[in-house]
Chains A and B, each alone.
Chain A
Amino acid sequence: MIRITSLTARVPGFVLHDATFTVPAGGVAVVTGPTGAGKTTLLETIAGVRPHSAGTIALHGTDVTLLPPEARCVGLVYQAAWLFPHLSVHDNIAYGARRVDSVTDVMHLLPVHALLARPVATLSGGERQLVAIARALAREPHTLLLDEPFAAMDSTLRATIRSVVLEWAATHGMTTMLVTHDPSEALLTGVTQLRVEGGVVTQPMTCN
């Protein structure tokens, strides 16, 4: 579960105001909103990589507001992937894995085998996103924070990977937040809808 209460975060020239919402345990929240609205800031604040100035963050039943990112058990995937350029694809995926088996499992889940021997610098945008997703899943986080993680993939691969990742997350009890500009993702059923605009988070409805 993700329970956010009166969360405020300030970055230069921008404030995320008083966000309050809940995502049920094992559920998915789809976050939409215009560019620059504060969606990435929201995810980063929940992950703990950006400081908050007020409010509380509870993940998986624990108040993590004052915990550092490494103690929050979150997986964070950026649109730009941010793979470690000095490591191989395999070492990127295994970077934070707690078990060898989890790396193997993720490699079976996602089509990354063909990429293992390639230098990170030669990967396309979509391939980078695949590796970044694999890296986050191999950590086996309780909370998965996805910031437009499929944006660079073609539409077929995108639908497949989205479905595989969300199913995997649900099977493993991960609570997921998915930032998207894709209308088909925004209308996913059975998810919590969150709208961010001008730093204000609203919860218009939940699709069932």
Chain B
Amino acid sequence: MPRVLLSAVATLAASLLVLALVLPVGTLVAGAGLGGVLRALADREVLQSLLLTVVGATVATALAVAGGTPLAYILARTPFRGRAVVEALLELPLVIPHPVIGMALLLAMGRNSPLGSLLAPIGLGIVNSPLGIVVAMLVVSAPLYVFGARESIARVDERLESVARTLGDDRWSAVRRVTLPIARNGMVSAATGMWARCTSEFGAIVLVAYHPRVASVLAYDRYVTYGLRDALPVAAALVCVALCVLLLVRLARRAERA
């Protein structure tokens, strides 16, 4: 195939993909209009649900970073028997339908489960609670961070750690002073991706915590109760907030590189 034709086909394919990604969301935001988004943001219920979504996603991401970073390091650096099985289990939430994860959470931590009956009396029940929202977001999205961080860490050559060890660092210091700073950009990208995924989570949350409503559940609730016109501003506001945060993260990283 001539090079020009190949180039044209590649450009067309890329353009179609961009269109497929942008068109639905763009239509949604355009449908709501700026006025609709601003009215939605002035609606107390919408504002509370957006706040709950953003805070829940941030807490879930922080928990994933705290627990997922050591896990990512082990997966990147330590060969052990059964690692493929462990990785497959960790990746499972990415490939099974999220309502199924919601059901699994209810079975494992719901009011009638042994764990849930222990946690509920001390205010740590997951059903219809902010904690449930965070847990659902965490379980569904944490693999995105763990595997992203693992790839970033794996790209840092182990010999850099070896040199740091001969320069007086113990293993933890070498990781803290050398590996993590070098892998940081990739890890921030992974955390940003996870955060974005958390804000859009619906399937697991709707089963575990219909109340208090996160933005996705509120948009769905308004859609089934009042129809598309009333759901549109809420959905558009969620898109705008997520877009703003993603843009801010990218701008911050660009400023840091400059």
Contacts and interface: CB of A to CB of B under 8 A. Distances in A.
Contacts of A95: 164, 167
Chain B, interface residues (CB within 8 Å), range: 10 to 19
B27 interface: no
Interface residues of A, number: 25
Contacts of A96: 164, 166-169
A26 interface: no
Which of A75, A78, A82, A98 lies at the interface centre, i.e. has the most chain B CB atoms within 10 A of its CB?
A: A82
Which of A69, A78, A96, A135 lies at the interface centre, i.e. has the most chain B CB atoms within 10 A of its CB?
A: A69
Contact of A84 (B160, B165, B166, B170): B160
Contacts of B178: 84, 86
B167 A139 contact: yes
A49 interface: yes
Contacts of A76: 162-163, 166
A48 B168 CA distance: 12
Contact of B182 (A48, A85, A136): A85
Contacts of A68: 165, 170-171
Interface in A166-202: none
Interface in B128-186: 157, 159-160, 162-171, 178, 181-182
A41 B209 CA distance: 56
Contacts of A70: 165-170
Contacts of B169: 70, 96
A85 B181 CA distance: 10
Given A84-B178, A85-B182, A86-B182, A75 B166 contact: yes
A78 B159 contact: yes
Contacts of B171: 68
Contacts of A82: 157, 159-160, 162-163
B186 to A, nearest CB: 13
Contacts of A80: 159
Nearest to B165: A69
A74 interface: yes
What 8 A-B pairs come out closest when comparing CB atoms? A96-B167, A49-B162, A69-B165, A76-B166, A96-B168, A86-B181, A82-B159, A82-B163
